[in-house]
Amino acid sequence: MHLPVFDRNQGNIAKAKSLKSQAEHNLTAQLVSLRAEILEAVKNFEAARDALMIDDPGQLDAARKVRDKIRAAYELGGKPLIDVLDAQRAYRETFRLHIASRSSYWHSLYALNAAIGKQVLR
């Protein structure tokens, strides 16, 4: 018969130390992952913000005015239909790019707020 006189629960102590060490490593890995996610979100937000600032709001108005003038000239017989279609295509492309840059900005803003865990920018 064996009596554990000198054991003093060393196995459970070693197991607890191992679990503590594992938890600390998991925490460190999660913090590294979170930091990378936040840095990526900041980078994406800054790129989207810069693209939105570069986007000239006058471009959309100019494309609309050109489209309307060419359509009016067509209705008076001064322009062929192909010019009207081309102006409409140019306006739609300008409008699509405008919407895409705004969408990218708002998506990146919400992704940044989600990565940080609270609303830091509006």
Give the DSSP letter of residue 80.
Answer: -
pLDDT at 93: 96
SS3 content of the chain, % helix, strand, coil (to 5): 80, 0, 20
pLDDT at 122 over 90: no
CA distance 57 to 71: 22
Is the pLDDT assigned to residue 48 strictly greater than 90?
A: yes
- pLDDT value at residue 96: 95
Q: What is the pTM of this model?
A: 0.70
pLDDT in tens, 12-28: 888 999 999 999 999 99
From the number of C-beta atoms within 10 Å of its C-beta (0-12, 13-18, 19+), residue 48 rates as buried
Whether residue 2 is predicted with pLDDT greater than 80 in this model: the reply is no
Res 52: pLDDT: 87
Q: How confident is the model at residue 4 (pLDDT cuts 50, 70, 90)?
A: low
Give the pLDDT confidence of 26-42 residue by residue, as tens digits: 999 999 999 999 999 99
